A and B are shown apart, each in its own frame.
Chain A
Amino acid sequence: MNRNPLILIIGFLIGIIVILLLFTFQVRKSEVAVVTTFGKPTRPITEPGLKFKGPWPIQRVYKFDQRVQNFEDKQTEGLTRDGFNLITSVYVGWKITEVTNFFPTFAGYTEPIQEAERNLERLLSHAKSSVFGKHPLSDIVSASDNGTNFVAIENEILAAVQTDLRAQHYGIDIDFLGIKRLQIPESVTQNVFERMTSERKVLADRSQYEGESQAAIIKSEAERKAGEMLARAESEATRIRGEGEAKAAESLKVFNQNPDLAILIFQLNALESSLKEHSILVFDPNTPPFNLFRGVSPNLLNPK
């Protein structure tokens, strides 16, 4: 039987695959690895790529996720400097930084990441209680400061945990840390609610009184303005009338030519206009021209 070239190629390929799988491994961007020779860590690998290794059982590869892990610690209760009881929890973003330190400490556990987090939690709890104990409550909740103290507290906890982690040589580090929960003990919430209720009562009453007093101010202001407006109008009216009278006074010199006659004419006009309608006139026959009832003037009967 002649040798089948296809069989040869396939055999060759399979050989390459086996060699690749036995002597190489891939480290992803998201991973770090450590190569052990007879169980002893000999070569840490932090850069991604295709790497070589001796075959099992001489060399073995342990890979770990080197991405940032999210961890949130359990809520712990602690006192602020001014004696307020706070229940806090923080979140951290941590990752494996030195696999040579991480491997011997945690590789023995079935869940190395969780084990590392348990250690981290212990450090966090300690750092939290010491940092919160150094600050009064007003550093955390405050309308006046612009949040610098809040950030400072986060940074202090972060710095404290980072120092501890370096001292412990866990091979892990924290990238960032922030406050995740900020609460008060359950029994205290009742007191806060009572205070808030009375505060609401004060606010409700105040806005009612404010409304009434503001309404009164608005109304009286309007009345004051109305009064001013009328007073101005009145003085304007007086001025206008005065103007008229001044103008009329110019006519006086006309009447001045014969004041007696002017007075007579005025009187006659006044008399006529005052006795226009609904008037009852009682008179005696001496009133001209009714004196005619008593006869004609003798002067007329004796013409000169």
Chain B
Amino acid sequence: MSSQLEERELLPERPMDSGSQALSEALKSSFFVVKIVMVLLVFVFLGSGFFIVGPTERAIVMRLGKPVGEGEKALLGPGLHASWPYPIGDFTRVSITGIQRVTSRAGWYAVTPEQELAGTEPPAAGTLNPAVDGYALTADGNIVHTRAHLTYRINDPIRYVYNFVDASNAVLNALDDAVLYTAAHFKVDDILTRDVAGYADAIKSRVKELVEKQDLGIQVEQCTPQSVPPRQLKEAFNSVLRSELGRNKTLDEAKSVANQTSSRASAEAQGRVNKAEVDRALYVNDITSRAQQFEQLLPKYRENPKLFVQQRYTETIGRIFTNVQDKIMVPESTSGNQKEVRYILNRELQVPKAPEKP
């Protein structure tokens, strides 16, 4: 090519006639075009090493087929970057930024993205078609829909990009595997209600184990499972929930009754003890004061027993008669016959009738 170039440059130095001059002019102008094209070619070649990384992308530059830099440092952020032109250098654009998300599908019923967004679920047929609907078999041989949302971080972008055709798909496969594996070793009630946390932990640890074994170059951040009973059995599962709620309510009521019973009993018991204390105090006081009284009275009695007795007796009877409400003296019959006294009790009832009597 370069030898041709020299020949063409020599042309104008020959003696010219009008024909050759015209030819020379034509060659000159076409040669000018060739020169422009050549310069452009060189610029295009050199310029092919420059590239722009978009805001949601990263890029890895390669020299002689090997990535430049290691780990996170190999990732170039958004902006203008340069590499050697092919075949010396090269670059790869990758859409990996920050945290990656995948959701497993193998254990979930068929649902379109629109339904997923709207939060509605497709109508349930009587059976589950293995070609369309995903589900997991549980340890107790039941069917459950279960899936997991996994977030992960790419530790080793070079592995992630250059060792796997589609690493995110490999992560998804590992997640599906982990969900099926874990569900196969949990009972349906543990997955749905009793041991949701244990189930989530088991999935997470299985995913971690798998991504480590497969050396995907990622770090698992979060794994949150979501499980529902088959839509065909919604009512049956709800009835269990309802009856469990009912059981809890019954138990709560029983507990409150039990609390009332024991607090009542406790109050009553304390009351009885207190009453006994009061009784004791009263009794002891009473007897002590009587003993004191007796000790005071005894010397007086000894001075004149008959008079003392009579005095005490009469005094007491007098007080009694003062306090007693009704006193009825029945004169002694002269004939010696017994007398009959009639008395109407319940005087309170007669009170309203009293005004009527004249």
Q: Contact residues of A with B, CB < 8 Å?
A: 1, 3, 7, 10-15, 17-18, 20-21, 24-31, 48-50, 65, 67-70, 72, 75, 87, 91, 93, 137, 140-143, 145-147, 150-151, 175-176, 178-187, 189-190, 192-193, 196-197, 199-201, 203-205, 207-208, 210-212, 214-216, 218-219, 221-223, 225-227, 229-230, 232-234, 236-238, 240-241, 243-245, 247-248, 251, 254-255, 257-258, 261-262, 264-266, 268-269, 271-272, 275-290, 293
Contact = CB atoms under 8 A, between A and B. Distances in A.
Given A251-B291, A280-B325, A186 B239 contact: no
Contacts of A275: 320, 323-324
Contacts of B275: 237
Closest 10 CB pairs of A and B: A211-B247, A226-B265, A244-B280, A48-B65, A233-B269, A222-B258, A237-B276, A215-B254, A143-B139, A178-B177
Contact of A276 (B128, B142, B323): B323
B2 A211 contact: no
A222 B247 contact: no
A219 B256 CA distance: 9
Nearest to A209: B247
Given A14-B1, A200-B237, A279-B324, A65 B165 contact: yes
Contacts of A203: 189, 240, 243
Contact of A241 (B62, B253, B276, B301): B276
Nearest to A293: B329
Nearest to B188: A196
Contacts, number: 375
Given A254-B294, A289-B318, A215 B184 contact: no
Contacts of A282: 328-330, 341, 343
Given A141-B141, A176-B214, A265-B297, A234 B164 contact: no
A142 B184 contact: yes
A65 to B, nearest CB: 6
Given A211-B250, A214-B254, A218-B255, A192 B240 contact: no
A125 B5 CA distance: 64
Interface stretch (B50-58, B84-92, B149-157): B84-92
B166 to A, nearest CB: 6
B247 A193 contact: no
A188 B143 CA distance: 11
B330 A283 contact: yes
B7 interface: no
A247 B284 contact: yes
Contact of A93 (B170, B176, B243, B323): B170
Contacts of B270: 233
Given A29-B62, A70-B170, A237-B275, A189 B128 contact: yes
Contacts of A180: 106, 173, 176-177, 180
A230 B250 contact: no
Contact of A232 (B86, B244, B269): B269
Interface residues of B, number: 135
A150 B185 contact: yes
B279 A223 contact: no
17 contacts: A10-B42, A12-B2, A28-B162, A48-B66, A68-B170, A93-B170, A178-B176, A211-B248, A211-B250, A214-B254, A241-B276, A244-B284, A255-B294, A261-B297, A264-B312, A265-B312, A285-B329
Contacts of A241: 276, 279-280, 283
A230 B254 contact: no
B239 A200 contact: yes
Interface string B306-333: 0001001110111111011111111110
A246 B321 CA distance: 35
Given A49-B65, A181-B176, 19 more contacts: A3-B9, A26-B64, A26-B65, A26-B86, A28-B65, A29-B162, A48-B66, A141-B139, A184-B143, A204-B243, A205-B243, A208-B246, A233-B273, A240-B280, A254-B294, A255-B291, A261-B301, A262-B294, A282-B330
